[in-house]
Amino acid sequence: MGALLALARGIDRINEFIGKSVSWLILVAVLVSAINAAIRKIFDVSSNAWLEAQWYLFGAAFLLAAAYTLKQNEHIRIDIVYGAFSRRIQHWIDLFGHVFFLMPFLVLMLWLMFPWLMMSVRSGEVSTNSGGLIIWPAKSLLLIGFGLLFLQGISEIIKKVGVMLGLIPDPHTFTGHHGAAEAFVEEEGI
């Protein structure tokens, strides 16, 4: 189990680095949007390529940060139901969800996306918009994003088993905003 926990730590480091790095793509997308809008207003010139570049940048940030979001335990869940259970039951719910829902979905997505991406690369697929960009870089971001999420899913399963066996401390001692508020109140003595 020690080797698996080391693998999980390595995956976590990679996804943390990528997740924090791609957050800057949002700023770049905003700058591209602002510059494109200014040029359109001042010079009455527009380009579909710049609009599509914005979408690519935002999509890259969203897709490449999804694994980091899973690592941080920030994906949406129904906290009203989930939060009513003990932490032990929550671990079992997470493990079950990761193994039987998340991982099969990711395997299916990766299996279907690879040939779809290769077909786009081979055909030199280009946007149907006038002056648009080539499509395969955006499709490759989908594949990379789901690949990183798959790796993080493996990491989360390993860590969840490690926590349940008592080998590592629970990295998320509370879940959701309600748990965070309760921890704050306890800490501050309010």
**pLDDT confidence of residue 172:** 81
Q: CB count, 10 Å around CB of 88?
A: 10
Q: Across all residues in the chain, what is the average pLDDT?
A: 90
Query: What residues make up the domain containing 113?
Result: 1-188
Of 89-93, 99-103, 157-161, give the lowest mean pLDDT range. Answer: 89-93
Number of domains within the chain: 1
**pLDDT confidence of residue 130:** 85
pLDDT per residue as tens digits for the range 149-183: 999 999 999 999 999 999 999 988 765 555 666 66
pLDDT per residue as tens digits for the range 119-149: 999 999 998 888 889 999 999 999 999 999 9
User: Helix (H, G, I), strand (E, B), or coil: what is residue 167?
Assistant: coil
pLDDT per residue as tens digits for the range 31-80: 999 999 999 999 988 888 988 999 999 999 999 999 999 999 888 777 77
What is this structure's pTM? 0.85
Tokens representing residue 147 in the block = 């690949």
**pLDDT confidence of residue 79:** 73
Q: CB count, 10 Å around CB of 27?
A: 11
Unique residue bearing structure tokens 């990766």? 110
Unique residue bearing structure tokens 């994003």? 145
